[in-house]
Amino acid sequence: MKQLKLTGFVIFLFFLTESLTLSTKPQDVDDVSITQKFIEENVGYITIIIFAQYIQEASFEEVEMLVKTMTEYRDKCLADMTLPECSELANDVLLENICALEGLPQKHNFSHCCSKVDLEKKLCFFHHKKADVGFLPPLPTLDPEEKCQTYKNNRESFLNNYIYEVSRRNPFVFAPTLLTVAARFEEMTKTCCEEQDKANCFRTKAEPVIQYLKASSSFQKNVCGALIKFGLQVLESINVAILSQKFPKIEFKELTSLLEDVSSKYDGCCEGDAVQCIRGRSKVMSHICLKQDSISSKIKECCEKKIPERGECIISSNKDDRPKDLSLREAKFTESENVCEERDANQTSFMAEFLYEYSRRHPELSTPELLRIANVYEDLLKECCHTENPPDCYRHAEHRFNETTEKSLKIVQRECERSQNLGKEDLKYYYLIKLTKIAPQLSTEELTFLGKEMVTALTTCCTLSEEFACVDNLMDLVLGELCGINENRNINPDVDHCCKTNFAFRRSCFEGLEADKAYVPPSTFQGLFTFHTDLCQAHKEELQRKKDRFLVNVVKLKPELPDAELRSLLTDFTNVVVKCCQAEGPEACFNEEGPKVAAKC
């Protein structure tokens, strides 16, 4: 494989053998020729991503076997595309070859998927993915000097292994995003290996890459969760809100056309069909650039970039300026005499147009808030259109919209006040206790992750001028992580109700949740109060992780305890670590102090 050169979203197709309807427009033809070359050079990377995401338990050696098989398949089909096997879709070929690896289906418990066909087979592999990756060993870390030497000695194996490790730990992240991460990782490696202080260079440059991966993962899981749990209409509403805010000058007819491309790509992306996902994304970016004059004034430079770079550029571009002639309100939805008739003629299109008009006029609102407003309007019309005088009823819609936003704003203000009053560390402990009481069935790893994400959302947003939209958007992504992608994910009845009843209002639903009354805690929690000298060797970050885990596990064991008592136990744990690590015999000290903490529980 040649060097992987890309930044931003990777827009490419998978195999040349995929059927493609080519446009005669020069830009489209150019797009295809560029992607074909990219495909030829990067089949191995794409194979690793798909295999590692589907079968996370697979070893690197097993993944390399499949890469060899798929590379041979590619070479054979490039030499003679008339061969019968070359007419199959790439994802189908890949799954067939995964199933054909001797003993692998039985070893990793997916043989039942191999007996299925077509969509059922694809969905079976999708449901085999595990969001909680606590079963995997810790991500291997190399000393910076060793990392650079390994890269220098065998670049291909080094990058393959990196993509494998990241992909299996992020099974729902779209393939183009993972390839972007891999490209940035290589760029970082080449730069830092030339530096004298390699360790500091890696630390500094890794942070934005990690943040990009986390942000992309959260958004993709949230949107896919919406599609799988609530269906295409909710997904399309999300896309209408996002695109209308980003491109406020786009005409509704053009938006509707773009939405067909945007929404269709998610079927493949969310089911884990990387091929369909990649093709769909390429189609979206081509559409935007071909119609850029009527869509946005901010993307001209992006569309002049080569295909691998332009997608990221478009996504990262600023929201376009609101058209100067755009009125503050669209009267046709609240003042027209014929609203009910227009709604009844085509309810889906009518509601999409309302959301479009409201979103492009309100760049200050979050995506969830725009969906709430649309929900409120839809419910209002159901009520008004059955009255004797509908116009008199829906004329007060703006008042309902403002009430809805005020309620959401108060939630954000309370959270930001709490963030300011408690400080970062105490805020984290607040959310760890709250989340564990609400959803004690989640793993300790999931709960500590969610708690930290809540804190990140608030500490990132609460001092910004766009505080409301920022907090509401990020907190909604955290709830998306909690609810998960799969429609069959069950936590407990109250949480499941909030996750599955109404996508737009799940935030306010969670606000009202209390501790799970039906939860039966374990009688004991093995090893919870058994402390060892490894606590004394742990660096600051690792010790903090252990404290977080301790608090979550104490809540799981004693959820009925008031928050203050739970915090007191955490303080006791912290004091024991300080005391015993300073003692002459730390292990003996831990053996003596551990039971004392347990006795208070």
Tokens standing for residue 103: 């003993």
40 HSE (CA, 13 A, CB side): 11
Q: 51: which residues sit within 8 A by CB, 6+ positions away?
A: 58, 63, 66, 94, 98
* Closest to 272 measured CA to CA, from 416, 173, 384: 173
Sign of the C-alpha dihedral, residues 509, 515, 520, 525? positive
CA distance 476 to 231: 18
Please check whether residue 268 is in contact with residue 125, taking contact to mean a CB–CB distance below 8 angstroms: no
Phi and psi of 522, rounded to 5°? -65, 150
Tokens standing for residue 197: 């202080």
Using alpha carbons only, how large is the chain's radius of gyration in Å? Answer: 26
Q: 112: which residues sit within 8 A by CB, 6+ positions away?
A: 124
Tokens standing for residue 580: 């015993």
- Give me the helices (H) in 86-197, please: 90-100, 104-107, 111-114, 118-128, 144-153, 155-169, 175-192
79 HSE (CA, 13 A, CB side): 6
CA distance 12 to 15: 10
- For residue 273, say whether it is annotated as part of any ligand binding site: yes
592 HSE (CA, 13 A, CB side): 8
3-state secondary structure 434-483: HHHHHCCCCCHHHHHHHHHHHHHHHHHHCCCCCHHHHHHHHHHHHHHHHH
Please check whether residue 207 is in contact with residue 232, taking contact to mean a CB–CB distance below 8 angstroms: no
The DSSP string of 316-375 is HSPPPPPPTT--SS-GGGTT-TTHHHHHHH-HHHHHHHHHHHHHHH-TTS-HHHHHHHHH
402 HSE (CA, 13 A, CB side): 5
CA distance 554 to 451: 15
CA distance 531 to 569: 14
Tokens standing for residue 537: 């060797």
Please check whether residue 183 is in contact with residue 192, taking contact to mean a CB–CB distance below 8 angstroms: no
3-state DSSP helix/strand/coil % of the chain, to nearest 5: 70, 0, 30
Task: Write down the residue that tokens 């004034």 correspond to.
Answer: 297
The H or E element containing residue 518 is none
Phi and psi of 217, rounded to 5°? -60, -45
Binding site listing for Zn(2+): 273
